[in-house]
Structure 1
Amino acid sequence: MDIEILGALAVQENGVSITPTAPKPRQVLALLALHADRVVSASALIEELWGTTPPRSARTTLQTYVLQLRELIAAALDKDEPQSGAHPGTPRTAKDVLVTMPSGYLLASGGAESDVAAFERLSGMGYRAMDAGDFPGAARQLREALALWTGNAFADVQCGEQLEMEIKRLEENRLCALDQRIEADLRLGRHRELLAELTVLVNRYRTHESLHGQFMLALYRSGRRGEALEVYQRLRATLVRDLGLEPSAGLQRMQRSILTAGPETVAAPPAAAKDRLVPTS
């Protein structure tokens, strides 16, 4: 099974799409695909579909959506040679792929790695390389991880509370990987190469202090001291206006360093400066 979540939802079995076009069955598949090989409770699926006020027929309707998904899976399985299911020698069925469990349902991936799992594996390797001081390796692994994103997670899915919460988690993980990849590139002296990318990022994430600190550092080490200080002043104005906060102590130290020190002595702000995150719409 192929599962792609980091962009438009795409789930295939035997190379055939099993992604429904109807919004609510699509929501069901999205939540099952995100948690592939793990049980998703019926109550979580019902909350995703109808929030805190489900209709009396919610469980029956959910079962109908599951049957619709199994019809798509069965059609995909018919395209291939019979495979072993729960018992050796028996054809694999739709119920072997979308399994009914006592408390809910499980989508069996067949051991395939989803793009989310691949992202988590590669980014984890990147973080470990950063910790070991292997900045070329970290930049490479994190770049591979980020390349798996083709858009916003579940970009074409009508999302309820469960998926909205998961989207926020995935986006935060994406930003953490991006922050560390940029940090690795800065450690490798790629200051000028980062300027265009950071220009876009600080305009999208207007209160993300780590990205602004990295932009200040890249500008300053590219010989653009005045622009680096302007970035700080714009960030400060936004933080005060939108959040009633001053920049973090680490970022304030960085600004003072830019005012008084040579480029080689200016350090990036500490990780704590990453905490304030408000993307623009």
Structure 2
Amino acid sequence: MRYELLGSLRVRHAQECFSLSAAKRELTLAALLLGSGQVVTKEQLFTELWGGRPPRRAMAAVHVYISQLRKFLAEAGAGEQQVIETKPAGYVLRRNGAGYDTDDFTAAMREGRAQQESGHHEAALDSFERALSQVRGPVLDGLAEGPMLSSFAAWVEEERLECLEFSVEARTALGRHREVIGLLHSLTEQYPLRESFYRQLMLVLYRSERQAEALQVYRSARRVLRSELGLEPHRSLRRLHQAILSSDRLLELSAAG
């Protein structure tokens, strides 16, 4: 049995995949899964499900959702195991050894960072790609609005973008910089305020003998940052710009920091 929260919430068992059709039940299970092993209070569930305005019969509704989730999890592979326990203050979800895609994602990221720092770029790239494969889309398909779930969704997105950066770095270190030009063009368009993607794009363009395009990327980044934030590019981006202008030999050896 395996819980998957990095996208729409689903539970896998053997070759079958089980999903919840009702948003409130999905949010309830997601909140319990985030707090697995610990009590998720009734008040926390009210906030995740209804924000600051729970309905008059909120507690009765939560009782129904929990009952339905127990039946769902039994059918999804938990069998007779007691997965959701009732406590005086709320509920506890026991994973009982079930897999969890978030654990797999963080483990792959941790391995990739260690391998990258050790100079094992091929192994690092494999780890980062394995981590990225766990993320199927926005957490809960963007349904999360309460503080617990929305914070988790924001964390996942930040970690995913960082993983993309690490993946690009690994490919660049392996001399496979031309492979990521298209990806980085797309990322700078999707995340125009994230300077690291501009920096990586400038470097790979320069290494691909496209110096003029690399300089154009800097001009575009500077224009966006000044327009949106009233700021000049970070000094690391400015240093890389100067290095490209002077055809610094160090750019052939390592990325600008």
TM over 0.5: same fold?
Answer: yes
Q: Distance in 1 between matches of 2:190 and 2:231?
A: 19
Shift of the alpha carbon at 1:160? 2.0
AA matched with 1:51: G
2:140 is paired with a residue of what secondary structure? coil
AA matched with 1:33: L
Counterpart residue type for residue 255 of structure 1: H
Unaligned runs of 5+ in 1: 81-91, 271-281
Other structure's SS at 2:209 match: coil
What are the Cα deviations for residues 120-172 of structure 1, in whole angstroms up to 9, with x where unaligned? 001100011112222121111111111112222221x6322232221111111
Q: Which has the higher helix share?
A: 2
Give me the identity figure in percent: 35
Aligned to 2:183: 197
CA contact (8 A) 2:181 2:201 kept: yes
- Contact 1:221–1:263, Cα closer than 8 Å, also in 2: no
Residue 210 of structure 1 contacts residue 269 of structure 1 at CA under 8 Å; is this kept in 2? no
Output one character per residue of 1:235-280: Cα deviation in whole Å (capped at 9) or x when no partner: 111111111111001110100100002464365343xxxxxxxxxx
- Determine the C-alpha separation between the residues in 2 that align with 1:210 and 1:117: 26
Q: Map of 1:17-32 to 2, 5 A cutoff?
A: 19-32=19-32
Counterpart of 2:10 in structure 1: which amino acid?
Answer: A
8 A Cα contact 1:48 1:160, kept in partner: yes
- Against the structure 1 CA distance between its residues 190 and 77, is the aligned structure 2 distance closer, same or farther, given a 3 Å change threshold? closer
Q: Distance in 2 between matches of 1:115 and 1:76?
A: 16
Give the distance between the partners of 1:14 and 1:203, measured in 2 at CA: 40
Q: Distance in 1 between matches of 2:13 and 2:44?
A: 24
Distance 1:152 1:263, change over 3 A: farther
Q: Normalising by structure 2, what TM-score?
A: 0.90
* Number of equivalent positions: 255
SS of 1:154's partner is: helix
Specify which of 145, 152, 171 is matched with residue 160 of structure 1: 145
Please show how residues 109-188 of structure 1 align to structure 2 within 5 Å.
Answer: 109-155=95-141, 158-161=143-146, 162-188=148-174
> Which of 215, 219, 237 matches 2:201?
215
Q: Which runs of 5+ in 2 are unaligned?
A: none
Runs of 4+ in 1 over 6 A off after TM superposition: none
**Any idea what SS the aligned residue of 2:136 has?**
coil
TM-score of the pair, normalised by structure 1: 0.83
For 1:196 and 1:71, locate their aligned partners in 2 and report how far apart those are by CA, in whole Å.
Answer: 46
CA contact (8 A) 1:19 1:29 kept: no
Corresponding residue for 1:244?
A: 230
Is the 2:11–2:76 contact (alpha carbons within 8 Å) kept by the matching residues of 1?
no
1:221/1:264 contact within 8 Å kept: no
- The separation in 2 between residues aligned to 1:243 and 1:194, in whole angstroms, is 27
**How far is 1:189 from its partner?**
1.1
The CA distance in 1 between the partners of 2:75 and 2:180, in whole Å, is 48
**Correspondence for 1:42:** 42
